[in-house]
Amino acid sequence: MHSSDRDRIVLAAVVFAVLFSQLLLYPGVSTLVDALGADAATSAFAATDLDASMWFLVAEFAGYVAFVGVWGAASDITGRRTPFIVAGALAGAASYAALAAVPAIGSIPFEGVLVMRFVQGAMTIGAFSLTMTMLMDLEGGHGRNMGAAGIAIGLGAALGAPIGGQLSEVNPLAPLLGAAGLLVVVGLLVTRVPDRSPDSRRAVRALLEGVRKRPALSIPFAFGFIDRMTAGFFALVGTLYFQDAFGVGPAVTGLLLACFFAPFALLQYPMGALSDRIGRTIPIVVGSVCYGVGILAVGAAPSVATAAIGMVGVGVLGALVSPATMALVTDIAAESERGLAMAGFNVAGSLGFLGGFLVGGTVAGDYGYGLAFLAVGGLEIAIALLAVPVFLRLSIGRGDEFATEDRGSL
């Protein structure tokens, strides 16, 4: 096996472990926050179980958004990735373990728990984002490398939640301890991969100026935002819609979501390799239009069976779009700016995921599920159509042939 292929597998395993550890907490989050001291009588953030759970999840994403750029800039400035990934993973593990110790301490208010959760998110995102940057640094095709990252992300999301639910049945704190152990493994595993970051150091001003001169990065950032928004939409609104529209329980709902996650995860690598051969335009633009239409079709499905077929189709189309979008970040960014560029992509994705919760939940609550599906699917289609002139102007073909002089244009 070629060293790049072996390292691609190891780095994908690291990305999987970080996402898997994150999703372990989601199914039992309501019982977890109770165990961590969420109490309506003592905290305005815990007025209800839903409020406490929401703020617990939001605190982590806030840490992501606030610190992902710091990790990316530090990596690009120093020309190193591995030490920062190890530091982020081990600090994240310590943060998870500290949260698990809160009930034993017993004197930390829920606001303090949220601060600890923020710190955990701020540390964990360093390991996640910079591991993806190390995949960007590999040879072998940007689409193939980002396809490996996409498989890891999809499988981590698909497997983390059900296993986390089983752990929560044993003990509400068990997912925290499981996540801490996984991040220790991440810190050890990533040291097995050579650090291929560009052998250069850059001043902060020069780094920020370099990224500023590449407004074309806004293209993959915009697609990353809307794609993650659809993921957040299905995670919240899709789940409630299936149960209300078809009268199904959690088990069938989980199977419907799996109809999306299975093809989305398993097809990322071949779809990424396809974008290396045919270019990014067709997978991103045409794929996004079809993806948006697929979302509308799921919202209009008259039965569980047709909804399941629609979810499979959406999963396939999502797998077509996702690795090509991440690969486009690599195509556009200079080698010495990849850490900060991937950080920007992850900021856009995190904000998109939150947007899926907020936009989808608000529209569904005020105007019904039909309009919510129309809004999210329509946004996906609209962004793809608006991007067509930009893609044509930049002449984005095969990722490896992306013209250097086009990187800073819009």
User: At 182, which CATH number?
Assistant: 1.20.1250.20
Which range (2-16, 67-81, 310-324, 344-358) has the least confidence?
Answer: 344-358
Q: Which of 169, 201, 233 is the last residue of a domain?
A: 201
pLDDT digits (tens, 9 = 90+) for 90-103: 999 999 999 999 99
Q: Give the amino acid at 365.
A: G
Residue 70: burial class (beta carbons within 10 Å; 0-12, 13-18, 19+)? middle
Q: Assign 404 a pLDDT band (cuts: 50, 70, 90).
A: very low
Q: How far apart are CA 24 and CA 156, in angstroms?
A: 9
Going from the C-alpha of 65 to that of each of 62, 95, 348, 385, the distances in angstroms are 5, 17, 9, 28
Same domain as 305, residue 392: yes
Residue 156 has pLDDT above 70, yes or no: yes
Same domain as 218, residue 112: no
Q: Which residue has the tokens 């940007």?
A: 142
Q: Which of 158, 176, 201 is the last residue of a domain?
A: 201
Contacts of 190 (CB under 8 A, 6+ apart): 10, 11, 14, 82, 85, 86, 89, 127, 131, 134
**pLDDT value at position 203?**
52
Going from the C-alpha of 271 to that of each of 202, 275, 325, 352, the distances in angstroms are 34, 6, 11, 22
pLDDT digits (tens, 9 = 90+) for 33-75: 899 998 888 888 888 876 788 788 888 888 988 898 899 888 8
Looking at every residue in the chain, the average pLDDT score rounds to 84
Same domain as 135, residue 266: no
Q: How far apart are CA 344 and CA 348, in angstroms?
A: 6
pLDDT digits (tens, 9 = 90+) for 101-152: 999 987 899 999 999 999 999 999 999 989 988 988 888 777 888 888 888 8
Q: Which two tokens stand for residue 223?
A: 């697609």
Same domain as 216, residue 336: yes
Residue 269 has pLDDT above 50, yes or no: yes
Same domain as 252, residue 150: no
pLDDT digits (tens, 9 = 90+) for 201-235: 555 555 455 556 667 788 888 888 888 888 878 87
Q: Which of 146, 171, 201 is the last residue of a domain?
A: 201
**pLDDT value at position 202?**
52
**pLDDT value at position 352?**
86
Same domain as 356, residue 410: yes
Mean per-residue pLDDT for 19-43?
86
pLDDT digits (tens, 9 = 90+) for 166-194: 888 889 999 999 999 999 999 999 999 99
Residue 401 has pLDDT above 50, yes or no: no
Q: Assign 405 a pLDDT band (cuts: 50, 70, 90).
A: very low
Q: What is the pTM assigned to this prediction? A: 0.77
Q: Which domain holds residue 157?
A: 1-201
Q: Give the amino acid at 387.
A: A
Q: How far apart are CA 339 and CA 368, in angstroms?
A: 41
- Give the residue among 291, 296, 309 at the shortest CA–CA distance from 255: 309
Residue 357 has pLDDT above 90, yes or no: no
Residue 277 CA to its chain's centroid (Å): 25
**pLDDT value at position 398?**
46
**pLDDT value at position 1?**
52
Q: Which one has a higher pLDDT value, 349 or 21?
A: 21
User: How many other CB atoms are there within 10 angstroms of residue 3's CB atom?
Assistant: 11
Same domain as 330, residue 391: yes
**pLDDT value at position 82?**
94
Same domain as 225, residue 188: no
Same domain as 165, residue 16: yes
Tell me how many domains the chain contains: 2
pLDDT digits (tens, 9 = 90+) for 360-371: 877 887 888 899
Same domain as 406, residue 392: yes
Same domain as 257, residue 184: no
**pLDDT value at position 131?**
93
Same domain as 218, residue 171: no
Q: Which one has a higher pLDDT value, 357 or 122?
A: 122
Degrees (nearest 5) of the Cα angle 283, 289, 291?
80
